[in-house]
Amino acid sequence: MRVATTSVGPVTDRDIQERTINVIRGFSMDAPQRANSGHPGTAMALAPLAYTLFTRIMRYDASAPTWPNRDRFVLSGGHASILQYALLHLCGFGLERSDLEDFRQWGSLTPGHPELHHTPGVEVTTGPLGQGFANAVGMALAEHSLRATFGSQLFDHHTFVICGDGDLEEGLSHEAASLAGHLGLGKLVAIYDDNHISIDGPTELALSDDAAARFRACGWNVVEAGEIAEDVDALEAVIRSVLAVEDKPSLIILRSHIGYPSPKYTDTAHAHGNPLGAEEISATKALLGMPDESFWEPDDVVAHMRAAGLRGSDARVRWEVLREGWSENREALDAALAGTGLPGWQDALPRFEVGQSIATRNAGKKILNALLPFVPSLIGGGADLTGNCGVEIDGTGPFSLTDRTSRQIHFGIREHAMGSVMNGMAAHGGVLPFGGTFFIFSDYMRPAVRLAALSDLHVIYSWTHDSVGVGEDGPTHQPIEQLASLRAMPKLRIIRPADANETVDAWRIAIERGGPTALILSRQNLPVLEGTGRVGDVDRGAYVLRATDGEPDVVLIGTGSEVQLCMQAAQELAESGVAARVVSMPSWDLFLEQDDDYQLSVLGEEIPRVSVEAGSTFGWSLWAEANVGIDHFGASAPGAELMEKFGMNVANVLEHVRAVLED
């Protein structure tokens, strides 16, 4: 049984259609004016397009906004959020007129830019330009993967994204468009609002790209629609013409006029980011034949749009019945939609023998491959560093135009796009994306990582080559400040495991818990330490790895590859009569979640502490009086030699211990 796309067909009451578009334009003017803040112009110009999408094209059910087989809508230019809020209100997603009146105000459901999990019907958090466009690529990728895995009866929908000049100027759009074209992500429809206006003025000040040629070169199906922004029938026809394209993403280039039909501000930069003013709003409403009334919405317009909001309800009900009776790979389907593993999946986790020497990135690969059969939602790869970063899937080819069932994605040298595409995949649901690159290149991913944290998206980063231990590649490839800077990011869970067994638990936590998790893994081999295999220790962020008889004289706190140095130093101190407790602290974030009693039981009270980590010491004063670290850039030399030269050795740890004990 195939779930058909429903359609209400062309609207026969042209008066209702025209007045509905005018109501959307009215909201687009009134809300920024009331807030004295906002971007009315784009929303005014695109009111007919949004109307067409929500009443004639998209399949969705406003009464069930998270129905898995709905079409996805992304407003990449999130500054035009009032356009999306107007449609969500009129179509019955739960936004009230009062929410529009509270636009951009404290506690409202209508913030300045759309936020996932905050406003019903918003699919992704947009605003930083280019992100929404790349998120849409991830959504389309997820749809193709799920359709190939579970069949078109369950997953068969489109992703629509409205983007503008700002989105396409950002470098991220180049990365994402290139990947989407290479993978042939059909059922992705991008509509480029080519309005020729930016904040500074005409886009010609800084932009002369041939967007059509650029996207064709990237393998997209391109339609240059021209001056049809006011023609609903023409808009519907051009959008429907690309819906059947399944082997290429489609770009529709639409020439619009920002601020239309404002007599004073049409085609001006003022309309981009400034309220029009009461006088100009009145003049514009007079042109539209609207009453000069704020937030005007006649009952028949609301009724018309509420009916459109339920246009996919029959398809949604049929889908739910189909899923309820689904028997083929049912456990895998349920696990994928829940973003978790099959029952008992944790039993597949490997354990490593004490004394074994293995880089945590290589341990990560063994763990990932052990989990793949039991966590059906896992899908991902690396930014041209797949094997290096422990995200290579054994015995499989790449996800491609000819193989949508593969769970191995080659993102190419596109770290920023990888992060943003992962966000779109996670926001889509049904998949749990992972992505790997060198830790230093997390800098390229940072905007997407921040949005993953802000949006609480379930993604996993495998960031490897985590210190100057990278070696000969030199300071350009050796992370120093990355850990400290990323620890400052709210809601990003960072785990830097000491060895292979801590890496096992790090992967388990990344799957079990929502939100983004960053695994910070070593290039070099690390010994598997005694005591790191206890399940639950990593969950608490820090734990006592080596205890003392009675109260310790000093507490050594290490993370990652430096925990072994703490263990060696503690042994030498014991031989000289100094009792040293060793604490492994793989995750500040998880440790900060623990209560004060547990934290004191690990760190002790009024006991000198020394931290040891091969990176910036910034922030370590929270935990320790003395800090062994690296507060300068690295150098090109073998990794072991750099560790020695930069004081990441037992002798330097002992020197810091003696100094803190003397104090």
CATH code of the domain containing 589: 3.40.50.920
Average pLDDT over residues 253-266: 98
The lowest-confidence range among 1-15, 270-284, 523-537 is 1-15
Of 470, 499, 527, the residue that ends a domain is 527
Using the predicted structure, report yes or no on whether residue 254 has a pLDDT greater than 60. yes
Residue 345, pLDDT score: 98
CA–CA distance, 245 with 559 (Å, rounded to integer): 50
Report the relative pairing of strands 357-358 and 526-527 from DSSP bridges: antiparallel
Examine residue 561 and state whether it is found in any structural domain, yes or no. Answer: yes
Q: Are residues 360 and 492 in the same domain?
A: yes
Examine residue 396 and state whether it is found in any structural domain, yes or no. Answer: yes
In 532-645, alpha helices (H): 563-575, 588-592, 596-603, 639-645
Structural domain that includes position 134: 14-316
Q: Are residues 509 and 589 in the same domain?
A: no
Q: Are residues 306 and 428 in the same domain?
A: no
Asked if residues 98 and 421 have their Cβ atoms less than 8 Å apart, the reply is no
Catalytic residue set: 415
Residue 663, pLDDT score: 83
The percent of residues in the chain predicted with pLDDT above 70, rounded, is 98
Average pLDDT over residues 240-249: 95
Using the predicted structure, report yes or no on whether residue 49 has a pLDDT greater than 50. yes
DSSP-based helix, strand, coil % in the chain, nearest 5: 45, 15, 45
Q: What is the pTM of this model?
A: 0.97
pLDDT tens digits for range 315-364: 999 999 999 999 999 999 999 999 999 999 999 999 999 999 999 999 99
Q: Are residues 504 and 357 in the same domain?
A: yes
Check the CA dihedral 96-101-103-108 and report its sign: negative
Residue 23, pLDDT score: 98
Using the predicted structure, report yes or no on whether residue 6 has a pLDDT greater than 50. no
CA–CA distance, 329 with 377 (Å, rounded to integer): 13
Using the predicted structure, report yes or no on whether residue 548 has a pLDDT greater than 80. yes
Examine residue 188 and state whether it is found in any structural domain, yes or no. Answer: yes
Q: Are residues 275 and 349 in the same domain?
A: no
In 36-194, alpha helices (H): 40-45, 47-52, 81-91, 97-101, 131-150, 165-169, 171-183
Residue 649, pLDDT score: 98
Asked if residues 439 and 447 have their Cβ atoms less than 8 Å apart, the reply is no
Mean pLDDT of the chain: 96
Residue 466, pLDDT score: 98
Residue 12, pLDDT score: 55
Dihedral class, residue 300 (left if φ above 0, else alpha if ψ from -120 to 50, else beta):
alpha
Using the predicted structure, report yes or no on whether residue 290 has a pLDDT greater than 50. yes
Q: Are residues 175 and 262 in the same domain?
A: yes
The CA–CA distances, whole Å, from 530 to 520, 591, 653 equal 21, 21, 20
Average pLDDT over residues 81-97: 98
pLDDT tens digits for range 599-611: 999 999 999 999 9
Residue 81, pLDDT score: 98
Q: Is 528 helix (H, G, I), strand (E, B) or coil?
A: coil
The percent of residues in the chain predicted with pLDDT above 90, rounded, is 97
Examine residue 5 and state whether it is found in any structural domain, yes or no. Answer: no
Q: Are residues 489 and 585 in the same domain?
A: no
Q: Are residues 33 and 62 in the same domain?
A: yes
Examine residue 446 and state whether it is found in any structural domain, yes or no. Answer: yes
pLDDT tens digits for range 96-122: 999 999 999 999 999 999 999 999 999
Number of folded domains that form the chain: 3
Residue 2, pLDDT score: 29
Residue 318, pLDDT score: 98
Q: Are residues 582 and 648 in the same domain?
A: yes
Token pair recorded at residue 520: 């910070």
pLDDT tens digits for range 407-439: 999 999 999 999 999 999 999 999 999 999 999
Average pLDDT over residues 272-288: 98
Residue 388, pLDDT score: 97
The CA–CA distances, whole Å, from 236 to 79, 90, 121, 161 equal 25, 20, 22, 15
CA–CA distance, 478 with 474 (Å, rounded to integer): 6
Residue 4, pLDDT score: 31
Token pair recorded at residue 405: 């069932």
Residue 442, pLDDT score: 98
Amino acid (1-letter code) at residue 129: L
Examine residue 499 and state whether it is found in any structural domain, yes or no. Answer: yes
Q: Are residues 551 and 522 in the same domain?
A: no
Average pLDDT over residues 120-125: 98
Nearest to 570 by CA among 598, 610, 543: 610
Examine residue 309 and state whether it is found in any structural domain, yes or no. Answer: yes
The alpha carbons of the chain give a radius of gyration, in whole angstroms, of 28
Residue 3, pLDDT score: 32
Asked if residues 602 and 583 have their Cβ atoms less than 8 Å apart, the reply is yes
Average pLDDT over residues 652-660: 98
Q: Are residues 272 and 369 in the same domain?
A: no
Q: Are residues 385 and 459 in the same domain?
A: yes
Using the predicted structure, report yes or no on whether residue 491 has a pLDDT greater than 60. yes
Residue 211, pLDDT score: 98
What CATH number corresponds to the domain at position 101?
Answer: 3.40.50.970
Examine residue 4 and state whether it is found in any structural domain, yes or no. Answer: no
